[in-house]
Amino acid sequence: MDERIKNLDEKMKKAYDFLISDLSTIRAGRANPHVLDKVKVDYYGTPTPLQQVGNITVPEPRMLQIAPWEKNLIKEIEKAIMASDVGITPSNDGNIIRLVFPELTEERRKELVKDVKKKGEEGKVAIRNIRRDGNDAFKKLAKTEISEDEIKSLEDELQKLTDRYIKDIDKTVEEKSQEILKV
């Protein structure tokens, strides 16, 4: 594989991986520890990811349990969860924090599916932008370094790469949508 195509492939992979991690934070009726990935706790003045200040477990399908490594962090963790967009009020018993996820309504599921599809479209736009930048770079090379045939070959290879990532995004979005709609 050409070095230029390899670089563009890496950029597209990063865009795709970002979409995957973004979709993993959307809950699908089950308690998923990834919904807390973006929550930062004030740990002695430093915003720290929640996973680094406590243990997160899933004792029941619709409950997350957070056991902080230091008891004095319970209030800070609750404050961070309340300030985040998780949308669930934490409860604690002095030792652990529990997050109980309510059953998703049909309306809320449809909203989440719309959100998933929107994120999928944003991912496709990112992939297409990388393709456009790559094609522009190839056209600049045509003026000096390589022949028209080589340019055409590079563009074809880049298009195949783009098509593969777009197909992967469609598949991922469809799977996530089905997961959300499944009651």
pLDDT 10s digits, 55-69: 888 888 788 888 888
Percentage of residues of the chain with pLDDT beyond 90: 26
Q: The domain that contains 175 carries what CATH number?
A: 1.10.132.20
* Predicted model pTM: 0.70
State whether 125 and 172 are in the same domain: yes
15 band by pLDDT with thresholds 50, 70 and 90: very high
Residue 168: what pLDDT? 94
pLDDT category of residue 74 using cuts at 50, 70 and 90: confident
End-to-end CA distance of the chain: 44
**Domain total of the chain:** 2
* Same domain (yes/no): 81, 94: yes
Rounded to whole angstroms, how far apart are CA atoms 64 and 88? 11
Q: How confident is the model at residue 183 (pLDDT cuts 50, 70, 90)?
A: low
- 94 in the Ramachandran plot: left (φ > 0), alpha (ψ -120 to 50) or beta? left
Q: What does the DSSP assignment read for 146-175?
A: S-HHHHHHHHHHHHHHHHHHHHHHHHHHHH
CATH number at residue 73: 3.30.1360.40
Residue 163 has pLDDT above 90, yes or no: yes
Question: Which of the listed residues 100, 118, 145 is the one where a domain comes to its end?
Answer: 100
Query: Do 111 and 165 fall within a single domain?
Result: yes
71 and 11 within one domain: no
Question: Domain end: 79, 100, 121, which one?
Answer: 100
| Distance in angstroms (rounded) separating the CA atoms of residues 22 and 11 | 17
Mean pLDDT of 151-177: 91
Is 115 in the same domain as 169?
A: yes
pLDDT: which is higher, 80 or 183: 80
Same domain? 118 vs 149: yes
d(CA 22, CA 117): 12
Same domain, 21 and 37: no
Q: Is 52 exposed, middle or buried (0-12, 13-18, 19+ CB in 10 A)?
A: exposed
Q: How confident is the model at residue 36 (pLDDT cuts 50, 70, 90)?
A: confident
**What are the backbone angles phi and psi of residue 58, rounded to the nearest 5°?**
-120, 85
Which residues constitute the domain of residue 83? 33-100
Task: Assess whether 14 and 39 both reside in one domain.
Answer: no
Confidence of residue 77 (pLDDT cuts 50, 70, 90): confident
Residue 120 has pLDDT above 90, yes or no: yes
- Band (27; pLDDT cuts 50, 70, 90): low
Q: What is the pLDDT of residue 140?
A: 83
Answer yes or no: do 168 and 111 share one domain: yes
pLDDT higher than threshold 90 for residue 35: no
The residue among 60, 78, 100 that closes a domain is 100
Same domain, 15 and 77: no
> Is residue 74 located within the same domain as residue 118?
no
Both tokens assigned to 8: 């563009």
What's the average model confidence in pLDDT over 70-79? 85
Residues 11 and 64 in one domain: no
Cα-based distances in Å from 88 to 31, 38, 51, 110? 11, 14, 17, 19
